[in-house]
Chain A
Amino acid sequence: MALYSEVVMDHFMNPRNVGIIENADGVGEVGNAKCGDIMKIYLKIENDIIEDVKFETFGCGSAIASSSMATEMIKGKSIENALSLTNKAVAEALEGLPAHKMHCSVLAEEAIKSALKNYYEKNNIPYDKSQFPDCENCAHCHE
Chain B
Amino acid sequence: MFVYADNAATTKMSKTAISAMTDYYENIYANPSSLHTAGQQAKEALEDARARVAACLGCEAREIYFTSGGSEADNQAILSAAKLGAMKGKKHIISTAFEHHAVLHTLNKLEKEGYEITLLDVSQGHNVTAGQVAEAIRPDTCLVTCMYANNEIGSVLPVAEIGKVCKEKGVLFHTDAVQAVGHLEIDVKKQNIDMLSLSGHKFHGPKGVGALYVRRGVMLSNLIEGGAQERGKRAGTENIPGIRGLAAALEEACANMEENNKKVVALRDKLIAGLSQIPHSALNGDPVNRLPGNVSFCFEGIEGESLLLMLDALGICASSGSACTSGSLDPSHVLLAIGRVHDVAHGSLRLSVCHYNTEEEIEHILACVPKVVQNLRNMSPVWRDLQTGKREYIL
Contacts of A36 in B (CB 8 A): 303, 322-324, 329, 331, 342, 346
CB of B306 within 8 Å of the partner chain: yes
**Which residue of A is nearest B377, CB measured?**
A58
Give the distance in Å from the alpha carbon of A103 to the alpha carbon of B384 in the complex.
23
Q: A56 touching B380 by the CB < 8 A rule?
A: yes
CB of B313 within 8 Å of the partner chain: yes
Q: B381 touching A12 by the CB < 8 A rule?
A: no
Give the distance in Å from the alpha carbon of A9 to the alpha carbon of B310 in the complex.
10
Contacts of B301 in A (CB 8 A): 58
- A:1-22 near B, CB below 8 Å: 3-4, 9, 12-13, 15, 18-20
A49 to chain B, nearest CB (A): 25
Give the distance in Å from the alpha carbon of A18 to the alpha carbon of B379 in the complex.
6
A-B contact count (CB 8 A): 72
Q: Give the one of A40, A55, A57, A59 with max B CB within 10 A.
A: A59
Q: A38 touching B382 by the CB < 8 A rule?
A: yes
**Which residue of A is nearest B301, CB measured?**
A58
Contacts of A129 in B (CB 8 A): none
CB of A122 within 8 Å of the partner chain: no
Q: A56 touching B379 by the CB < 8 A rule?
A: yes
Contacts of B325 in A (CB 8 A): 60
Partner of B381, one of A9, A15, A35, A58: A58
**Which residue of B is nearest A4, CB measured?**
B309
Give the distance in Å from the alpha carbon of A19 to the alpha carbon of B342 in the complex.
25
Q: A57 touching B331 by the CB < 8 A rule?
A: no
CB of A25 within 8 Å of the partner chain: no
**Which residue of B is nearest A56, CB measured?**
B381
Give the distance in Å from the alpha carbon of A20 to the alpha carbon of B382 in the complex.
13
Q: A40 touching B381 by the CB < 8 A rule?
A: yes
**Which residue of B is nearest A98, CB measured?**
B327
Contacts of A37 in B (CB 8 A): 303, 324
A105 to chain B, nearest CB (A): 14
Give the distance in Å from the alpha carbon of A13 to the alpha carbon of B306 in the complex.
9
Give the distance in Å from the alpha carbon of A47 to the alpha carbon of B346 in the complex.
40
CB of A96 within 8 Å of the partner chain: no
B353 to chain A, nearest CB (A): 24
Contacts of B306 in A (CB 8 A): 12, 59-61, 63-64
CB of B187 within 8 Å of the partner chain: no
Contacts of B381 in A (CB 8 A): 29, 38-40, 56-58
Give the distance in Å from the alpha carbon of A38 to the alpha carbon of B343 in the complex.
11
Contacts of A15 in B (CB 8 A): 379
CB of B305 within 8 Å of the partner chain: yes
Instruction: Contacts A57-B379, A58-B382 given; indicate if A34 touches B305 (C-beta within 8 A).
Output: no
Contacts of A34 in B (CB 8 A): 342-343
Instruction: Enumerate chain A interface residues (CB-CB to B < 8 A).
Output: 3-4, 9, 12-13, 15, 18-20, 29, 33-40, 55-61, 63-64, 100-101
Can you list 15 pairs linking A and B with CB atoms under 8 Å apart? A12-B309, A33-B346, A33-B382, A35-B323, A36-B323, A36-B329, A36-B342, A55-B379, A56-B379, A56-B384, A58-B383, A60-B303, A60-B306, A60-B322, A60-B325
- Sample of 7 further A-B pairs with CB below 8 A, known A13-B310, A29-B381, A61-B306: A18-B379, A36-B323, A36-B331, A57-B380, A58-B303, A58-B380, A61-B305
List the 3 closest pairs (A to B, CB-CB), nearest first: A60-B324, A60-B305, A33-B343
